[in-house]
Every structure is written in structure tokens, then in C-alpha cells.
């Protein structure tokens, strides 16, 4: 009998505890997409990306031109000239590889610019989420845009517009 009462008390206690937790969700993608400064930052990143892609395309064209010239003149070149031309091609290919890595590599220019332009905006959103959660005493705030599977949620628990309002007032 004691075991049964203990088990019943444990189950009821767990239900009370789970009911006491307050959980809401936000969509950070929606919030960021509705921030004008985020659109400006993305536009600036897109412009830089296009410039860098053009720069890489120009260098790639130079490499292809060198290869084409080499193939056309290969029979006319001496062995020393072939070695020199092959070395020149290898050097340009290495330069191309280095440029790609510099612009789009793991710690490349694109990554650095994203950190400079986008990260502060994301931090601003997360600060607003934290502020809202603390003011309204929420236990959990889920982000539906980050791959958290929310199979169903009532829209009254979507606090994205509230966070967006806080972010806009943080200026």
C-alpha cells in the first residue's frame, strides 16, 4: 500500500511540475527577416560575394588561358620552356586555390564579414528573447527556425512578434 501511495504521489508531483513549466516558441528567421538592418547586412554581404566570385572567375579564366596556350604551343616549346610554362600554370592554380580559400574558406573573408555584420543582429535578437522570457517568466523558449520539430503549437504561444517589437525598441 505504501508503494502504491508513493507511486501515486510521485506521478501527481510530476504532473504538477510539468504543468508549471511555461514554454513558448519564436521564429528567429522571421524576426531577422523583418529587421531592416538585417536586410542591409545581407545586401552588403551579397555585394561582396559577387565581387569575390568575379575575382575568382577572372583568375580561373587566366588559368584556363594559360592551359590553352600551353596545349596549343606544346609541340613548339623546348623541354625547359615546357617546365617553365607548367610551373607557371601550377603557380596560377595555387593562387586560385588560395584566393578561394581566402574569400570563402572556413575562416575566410565571407565568414569574417558575416561575424561583423550578422552576429551583432543575432545577438540583439537573442537578448530580446532573453529579456522577454525573463519578463514573462517563461521556462523554455524554442526556436522553430533552427530545426526544432514543433509538430503543433497554438499561435498564441508564438512570441516572434513580441521579440521583434522588443528588438525594434532596443535601437
- Regions of the chain short of the pLDDT cut 50: 4-7, 151
Number of neighbouring beta carbons within 10 Å of residue 139: 10
Q: In 3D, which of 95, 98, 94, 104 has the Cα closest to residue 52?
A: 104
Whether the CB-CB separation of 170 and 128 falls below 8 Å is answered with yes
CA distance 27 to 159: 8
User: Residue 13: which region, alpha, beta or left (left: phi > 0; alpha: psi -120 to 50)?
Assistant: alpha
Residue 26 class from Cβ within 10 Å (0-12 exposed, 13-18 middle, 19+ buried)?
buried
Whole-number pLDDT of residue 33: 95
Whole-number pLDDT of residue 4: 45
Number of neighbouring beta carbons within 10 Å of residue 92: 18
Bridge partners of residue 24, in order along the sequence: 141
Whole-number pLDDT of residue 156: 78
Whole-number pLDDT of residue 95: 98
- Looking at the chain, how many residues does it have? 171
Whole-number pLDDT of residue 138: 85
Amino acid at each position: 500500500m505504501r508503494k502504491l501511495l508513493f507511486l501515486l504521489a510521485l506521478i501527481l508531483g510530476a504532473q504538477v511540475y510539468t504543468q508549471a513549466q511555461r514554454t513558448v516558441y519564436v521564429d528567429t528567421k522571421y524576426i531577422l527577416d523583418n529587421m531592416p538592418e538585417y536586410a542591409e547586412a545581407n545586401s552588403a554581404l551579397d555585394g561582396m560575394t559577387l565581387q569575390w566570385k568575379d575575382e575568382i572567375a577572372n583568375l580561373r579564366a587566366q588559368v584556363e588561358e594559360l592551359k590553352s596556350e600551353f596545349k596549343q604551343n606544346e609541340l613548339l616549346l623546348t623541354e625547359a620552356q615546357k617546365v617553365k610554362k607548367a610551373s607557371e600554370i601550377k603557380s596560377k592554380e595555387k593562387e586560385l586555390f588560395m584566393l578561394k580559400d581566402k574569400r570563402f574558406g572556413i575562416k575566410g573573408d565571407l565568414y569574417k564579414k558575416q561575424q561583423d555584420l550578422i552576429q551583432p543582429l543575432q545577438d540583439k535578437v537573442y537578448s530580446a528573447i532573453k529579456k522577454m522570457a525573463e519578463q514573462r517568466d517563461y521556462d523554455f523558449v524554442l526556436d522553430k527556425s533552427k530545426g526544432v520539430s514543433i509538430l503543433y503549437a497554438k499561435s498564441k504561444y508564438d512570441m516572434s512578434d513580441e521579440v521583434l517589437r522588443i528588438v525594434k525598441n532596443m535601437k
